[in-house]
Amino acid sequence: MKILVVGGGGREHTLVWKISQSPLVKEIYCAPGNPGIASLARCVPIDAGDIKGLTALARQERMDLTVVGPEVPLVEGLGDLLAAEGLPVFGPQKAAAALEGSKIFTKDLMRRLQVPTAVYETFADFDAALAYARGQKYPLVVKAEGLAAGKGVIITADFAEAEAALRSIMLDKVFGSAGNRVVVEEFLKWEEASMLAFTDGETVVPMISSQDHKAVYDGDQGPNTGGMGAYAPAPVLTADLLQEAMERVMEPVVHGLRDMGIPYRGVLYAGLMLMEEGPKVLEFNVRFGDPETQAVLPLMQTDMVPVMQEVARGSLKGLTLDWYAGSCACVVMASGGYPGSYPKGLPITGLEAAGALEQVSVFHAGTALQEGDIVTAGGRVLGVTARGDDLQDALKRAYRAVDLIHFPDAHFRRDIGQKALK
């Protein structure tokens, strides 16, 4: 098989790494890829947002399967273009990708299907949104309706902060057209977990649970990031809660879309808040999470390529997944200053020594090749990942690897997984 993976971050490095282990695969392409991916795949300099260029590549190289990593090309319709060419694709088409591309579509769908989520209202008018916010309890969450590179959700402590958030999104257009409409919803506070599942539009097959760490500093302090680390499985999402989430969240949404004539084929991600009354949905993503993928896929014993083929064909029924025992932990090493401004082009050392440790994989997220050296090129630079007999063992291995890697002003959290250990 010849497979194209779209994207160039830590999630895509993990996908390429897992796909490369399949005996079915002869050649992997990745667009645009990164220096870490280049050791496993042929990197092609086509941006992940260039859906016409990606389709042309898949057609020209006669790809047996295209695996889409990021959300933007899915929301823009890459799945539709590939399907029109008769090219198999792992990832939902544009109508289904609205689950991530439009928060209003998703909230209204959940309301109609009675999927548990935060109480909310939607607004296209600033004054109406402001009047609603004035009468609510705080904290209150304000969300830009469209894609905003993970920055469109603002938790406000009081009305003044809510007004500032609404003004910046709806009037100042800090997120562009993504802020033409907003969702204003109640703030849910408990413990979060991530749930990933394969689905062909009918059958839903869950993966093991995981937990992300979004805040930049230890103790969940500071601004939110794209994710500073993750571990799997997450004991807070018990077998009973996992089953409840399947029955009340994942299956109703997939089947609800099917009944609307929208088959969802790919991976569905649900960010869940595990309330006392049961799981409630914070968000849906229409692709693998990042960095959850780095913690989940190393534990998957099953060859993932046939699974993706069955998803693309719409024939997932009867499939089961096997998992390695133990745990996996991913620690993100980020540039100093992230999630704010940060320098680029800083040299990275210790990658080979860290990667040589037993059961350790170093996934590149924001790196580049400069005069033969690996340098920093993004906010999240590396996902240092390790499997272990249990979570404590996995964390010990991961942090041992982190301590071997160096670049100026590198920042990482020292408390990944501590909630589970407690």
Q: Which helix (H) or strand (E) holds 126?
A: helix 126-134
Q: Which helix (H) or strand (E) holds 385?
A: strand 380-388
Tokens 């008018």, located at residue = 125
CA dist., res. 340 & res. 334, Å (int): 11
CA dist., res. 340 & res. 144, Å (int): 19
Q: Which two three-digit tokens encode residue 295?
A: 């913690």
Provide the angle, in degrees to the nearest 10, between the axes of the packed helices 94-101 and 251-259: 130
CA dist., res. 140 & res. 184, Å (int): 7
In DSSP terms, which residues pair with 259 in a beta bridge? none
CATH 3.30.70.20 for domain 327-421, yes or no, is no
Contact between residue 381 and residue 367 where contact means Cβ atoms under 8 Å apart: yes
CA dist., res. 399 & res. 331, Å (int): 7
What pLDDT score does 233 carry?
97
Indicate the domain borders of the chain: 2-94, 125-180, 191-313, 327-421
Are β-strands 327-334 and 278-285 bridged in parallel, bridged antiparallel, or unpaired?
unpaired
CA dist., res. 379 & res. 334, Å (int): 6
Contact between residue 105 and residue 145 where contact means Cβ atoms under 8 Å apart: no
Quick one: how far is CA 152 from the chain centroid? 15
What pLDDT score does 147 carry?
85
What pLDDT score does 153 carry?
87
Which residues, at least 6 apart from 260, have a Cβ–Cβ distance to it below 8 Å? none
Contact between residue 368 and residue 35 where contact means Cβ atoms under 8 Å apart: yes
Sheet containing strand 211-212, edge to edge, reads 211-212, 229-232, 327-334, 380-388, 360-364
pTM to 2 decimal places: 0.94
| CA-wise closest residue to 96 among 108, 107, 105, 104 | 105
Sheet containing strand 182-186, edge to edge, reads 120-123, 182-186, 140-144, 153-156
How is the chain split among helix, strand and coil, in percent rounded to 5?
A: 35, 30, 40
Q: Residue 250: helix, strand or coil by DSSP?
A: helix
What pLDDT score does 151 carry?
74
Task: Decide which of 1.10.1270.20, 3.20.20.70, 3.40.120.10, 3.30.470.20 is the CATH code for 191-313.
Answer: 3.30.470.20
Task: Decide which of 3.30.565.10, 3.40.50.20, 3.30.470.10, 3.10.350.10 is the CATH code for 2-94.
Answer: 3.40.50.20
> Which CATH code is given to the segment(s) 125-180?
3.30.1490
What pLDDT score does 223 carry?
84
Residue 50: Cβ within 10 Å count: 18
Q: Is 348 exposed, middle or buried (0-12, 13-18, 19+ CB in 10 A)?
A: buried
Distances (CA, A) of 170 to 106, 165, 336: 20, 8, 31
What pLDDT score does 141 carry?
94
Are β-strands 182-186 and 211-212 bridged in parallel, bridged antiparallel, or unpaired?
unpaired
In DSSP terms, which residues pair with 28 in a beta bridge? 3
Which pLDDT tens digit goes with each residue over 358-404?
Answer: 999 999 999 999 999 999 999 999 999 999 999 999 999 999 999 99
Contact between residue 291 and residue 214 where contact means Cβ atoms under 8 Å apart: no
What pLDDT score does 224 carry?
83
Quick one: how far is CA 252 from the chain centroid? 21
What pLDDT score does 406 carry?
98
Residues of the chain with pLDDT under 50: none
